[in-house]
């Protein structure tokens, strides 16, 4: 590590996730000093919409930063740089005067499903996939903008720039409209060139909307100064360098150890969604025939991550625990979500492995990895009269293990070692299930805030505190990897046996999902009522960890 040229010794990473917006302070050697967080807020609509207020998101980011500054003596004067990452995909439209054009469409939004089906059958889809390395799904800005072009053209007509969550926050911090190479490449570009690709944009039917795509900047090389307005709002100093991080999933993986030089290591983030990643050289990427997954750039020259993402991970646990909570409340025994989360490992201990299959497709947007089907829905298979609630909990957790294995199988052989991050990775029982499901040891990084750390690492490289990202990784990441936890061989045998049935059932249900979707479209068995944002299992586990003594 080199000394900061300004004598400042702190970098801040902002991680604007789906559940929580966090601001985290690190010293220049990577030690976490302090963290502040604000719950994120978004809304669901009966038509599959999932939206979020841009102004509220900026206000919540400001609040997190103000809390961080207030809780850390002399922080503003010590900050050498800050960086921002955030939830990926989605569409955050900005118009005249940098004002929002309506609420953002989140990655959870399902409205683009018919457009995705149309585009996936188009003649140029394979060429688009080979350039981006990314399967088309309802989460992505390209699909959402293509749907807006036909279903809500006034939004695009009023817009001047199409941003992502982190880009919107960067605009408010610096006054600069920009995006990063990772989201630009997997949405509209060529991952080999780290640039937009006109053929990709044309394949999406968005040539006329090309004007909305912002400049691409690499936050390890380029920073912009914090504006006076942002400084006044946050309590930081005007002129502080700001780096635009890559998308949150790759920042989290970077902070947790996806790229440390170890052969065939992988990283899974078990959060609201499940993200499963391998670091490979761009020239070594092998794209699958099904046209699924992502190729997402790392902030390391020539390196990318191959990614499969299952749409919902801990969201499945949230659903089951809310069912239990609703029943307890009706019985006059309201129970906090956090209390139910703390019981998960105990329920797992009181249940028999492999007795029920569960497909964890609880999201209204269906599934995107390792297959794409907007109609996919969750299901229990194999229920018997002897099964109890603890068996359902185990089935849901095992479903996450099966989904993880399904995703890695689409990328080749199982990893030799799996690094875990996300709040749910703190569960002993979940770690045991994931280890047995893929048949490899798991390691958990002691890094508490991997996403914010990944962003802060980019800022540290950008200001010259480290000569390159590899040297930063050697100090910030590798020493924090915990001891390997090896798979239980008996449990591994059970999951090896059950995985074939899991896949067989999933494929057999595709026609059922289509019929159910047709019925919903005809007004038969519609979706549930709109629900406000609520506490999540991932954030509860994060909070529990923090209460036990975070920095």
Tell me: the pLDDT tens digits for 161-205?
Answer: 999 999 999 999 999 999 999 999 999 999 999 999 999 999 999
Cα–Cα distance measured from residue 451 to residue 88, given in angstroms and rounded to the nearest whole number: 12
For the chain, report the end-to-end CA distance as a whole number of angstroms: 22
Backbone φ, ψ for residue 340 (5° rounding)? -70, -40
The closest of 98, 97, 93 to 51, measured between CA atoms, is: 93
Cα–Cα distance measured from residue 551 to residue 546, given in angstroms and rounded to the nearest whole number: 8
Strands (E), 115-213: 161-163, 178-179, 189-190, 195-196
Cα–Cα distance measured from residue 215 to residue 207, given in angstroms and rounded to the nearest whole number: 16
pLDDT at res. 532: 42
Give kind and range of the element (H or E) at residue 275. Answer: strand 274-281
Cα–Cα distance measured from residue 244 to residue 242, given in angstroms and rounded to the nearest whole number: 7
Coil, strand or helix: which one is 345? Answer: helix
User: Token pair of 229, please?
Assistant: 């307005």
Interaxial angle between packed helices 125-132 and 181-188, expressed in degrees from 0 to 180 and rounded to the nearest 10: 160
Give the CA distances from residue 469 to residues 259, 480, 497, in Å, rounded to whole numbers and listed in that order.
Answer: 10, 16, 41
Coil, strand or helix: which one is 44? Answer: strand
pLDDT at res. 411: 85
**DSSP code string of 392-423:** HHHHHHHHHHHHHHHHHHTTSSPPSEEEEESG
**What number is the average pLDDT over the span 122-147?**
94
pLDDT at res. 262: 75
The closest of 317, 309, 324, 319 to 396, measured between CA atoms, is: 317
Cα–Cα distance measured from residue 9 to residue 12, given in angstroms and rounded to the nearest whole number: 10
Cα–Cα distance measured from residue 286 to residue 242, given in angstroms and rounded to the nearest whole number: 35
The closest of 365, 369, 395 to 383, measured between CA atoms, is: 395
Q: How confident is the model at residue 545 (pLDDT cuts 50, 70, 90)?
A: very low
pLDDT at res. 131: 96
**DSSP code string of 489-525:** HHHHHHHHHHHHHHHHHHHHTHHHHHHHHHHHHTTSS
pLDDT at res. 192: 95
Q: How confident is the model at residue 530 (pLDDT cuts 50, 70, 90)?
A: very low
- Residue 74 backbone zone (phi > 0: left; psi -120 to 50: alpha; other: beta): left
Half-sphere exposure for 520 (CA within 13 Å, toward CB): 16
pLDDT at res. 116: 92
- Residue 362 backbone zone (phi > 0: left; psi -120 to 50: alpha; other: beta): alpha
Give the CA distances from residue 546 to residues 17, 132, 236, in Å, rounded to whole numbers and listed in that order.
Answer: 17, 38, 24
**What number is the average pLDDT over the span 502-507?**
94
**What number is the average pLDDT over the span 400-422?**
89
Over residues 290-320, the pLDDT tens digits come to 888 899 999 999 999 999 988 888 899 999 9
Backbone φ, ψ for residue 190 (5° rounding)? -120, 115
Cα–Cα distance measured from residue 510 to residue 313, given in angstroms and rounded to the nearest whole number: 20
Over residues 482-493, the pLDDT tens digits come to 899 999 999 999
> Do 475 and 30 meet the contact criterion of CB atoms below 8 Å apart?
yes
pLDDT at res. 525: 54
Cα–Cα distance measured from residue 143 to residue 203, given in angstroms and rounded to the nearest whole number: 11
Cα–Cα distance measured from residue 548 to residue 551, given in angstroms and rounded to the nearest whole number: 10
User: Token pair of 487, please?
Assistant: 């798979």
Cβ count near 287 (within 10 Å): 17
**What number is the average pLDDT over the span 409-425?**
84
> Do 397 and 344 meet the contact criterion of CB atoms below 8 Å apart?
yes
**Residue 246: is its pLDDT beyond 60?**
yes
The closest of 15, 27, 5 to 475, measured between CA atoms, is: 27
> Do 425 and 345 meet the contact criterion of CB atoms below 8 Å apart?
no
Q: Please count the helices (runs of H) and the strands (runs of E) in the chain.
A: 21, 23
CA 505 to chain centre: 27
User: Token pair of 498, please?
Assistant: 């059950």
Over residues 107-134, the pLDDT tens digits come to 989 899 899 989 999 999 999 999 999 9
Cα–Cα distance measured from residue 380 to residue 316, given in angstroms and rounded to the nearest whole number: 12
Q: What is the mean pLDDT of the chain?
A: 90
Backbone φ, ψ for residue 272 (5° rounding)? -55, -40
**Residue 326: is its pLDDT beyond 60?**
yes
Backbone φ, ψ for residue 54 (5° rounding)? -65, -45
Cα–Cα distance measured from residue 466 to residue 28, given in angstroms and rounded to the nearest whole number: 9
Cα–Cα distance measured from residue 204 to residue 335, given in angstroms and rounded to the nearest whole number: 47
The DSSP code for 48 is S
């Amino acid at each position: 590590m080199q000394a900061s040229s300004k004598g400042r010794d702190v970098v801040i990473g902002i991680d604007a996730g789906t559940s929580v917006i966090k601001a985290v302070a690190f010293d220049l050697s990577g030690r976490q000093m302090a963290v502040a967080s604000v719950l994120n807020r978004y809304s669901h609509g009966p038509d599959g919409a999932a939206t979020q207020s841009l102004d509220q998101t900026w206000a919540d980011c400001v609040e997190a930063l103000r809390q961080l500054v207030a809780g850390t003596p002399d922080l503003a004067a010590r900050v050498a740089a800050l960086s921002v990452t955030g939830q990926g995909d989605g569409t955050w439209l900005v118009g005249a005067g940098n004002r929002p054009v309506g609420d953002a469409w989140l990655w959870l939004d399902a409205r683009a499903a018919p457009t995705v089906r149309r585009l996936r059958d188009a003649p140029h889809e394979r060429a688009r996939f080979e350039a981006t390395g990314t399967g088309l799904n309802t989460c992505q800005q390209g699909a959402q903008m293509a749907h807006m072009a036909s279903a809500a053209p006034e939004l695009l007509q009023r817009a001047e720039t199409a941003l992502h969550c982190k880009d919107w926050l960067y605009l408010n911090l610096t006054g600069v409209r920009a995006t990063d190479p990772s989201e630009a490449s997997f949405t509209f570009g060529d991952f080999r060139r780290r640039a937009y690709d006109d053929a990709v944009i044309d394949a999406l039917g968005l040539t006329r909307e090309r004007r909305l795509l912002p400049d691409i900047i690499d936050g390890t090389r380029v920073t912009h100064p914090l504006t006076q307005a942002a400084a006044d709002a946050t309590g930081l100093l005007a002129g502080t360098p700001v780096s635009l991080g890559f998308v949150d999933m790759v920042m989290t993986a970077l902070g947790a150890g996806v790229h440390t030089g170890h052969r065939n290591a992988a990283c899974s983030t078990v959060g609201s969604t499940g993200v499963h990643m391998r670091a490979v050289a761009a020239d070594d990427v092998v794209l699958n025939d099904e046209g699924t997954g992502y190729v997402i750039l790392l902030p390391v020259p020539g390196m990318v991550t191959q990614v499969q993402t299952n749409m919902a991970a801990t969201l499945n646990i949230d659903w089951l625990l809310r069912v239990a909570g609703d029943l307890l409340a009706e019985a006059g025994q309201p129970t906090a979500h956090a209390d139910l989360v703390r019981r998960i490992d105990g329920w797992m201990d009181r249940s028999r492995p492999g007795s029920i299959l569960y497909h964890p497709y609880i999201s209204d947007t269906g599934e995107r990895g390792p297959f794409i089907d907007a109609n996919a829905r969750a299901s229990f298979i194999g229920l018997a009269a002897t099964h109890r609630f603890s068996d359902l909990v185990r089935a849901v957790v095992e479903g996450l293990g099966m989904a993880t294995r399904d995703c890695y199988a689409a990328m080749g052989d199982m990893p030799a070692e799996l690094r875990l991050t996300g709040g749910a990775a703190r569960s002993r029982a979940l770690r045991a299930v994931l280890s047995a499901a893929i048949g490899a040891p798991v390691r958990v990084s002691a890094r508490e805030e991997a996403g914010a750390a990944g962003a802060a690492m980019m800022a540290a490289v950008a200001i010259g505190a480290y000569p390159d990202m590899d040297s930063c990784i050697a100090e910030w990441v590798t020493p924090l990897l915990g001891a390997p936890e090896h798979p239980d061989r008996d449990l591994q045998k059970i999951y090896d046996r059950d995985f074939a049935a899991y896949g067989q059932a999933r494929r057999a249900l595709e026609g059922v999902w289509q019929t159910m979707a047709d019925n919903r479209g005809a007004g038969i068995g519609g979706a549930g009522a709109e629900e406000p944002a609520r506490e999540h299992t991932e954030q509860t586990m994060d909070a529990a960890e923090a209460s036990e003594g975070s920095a």
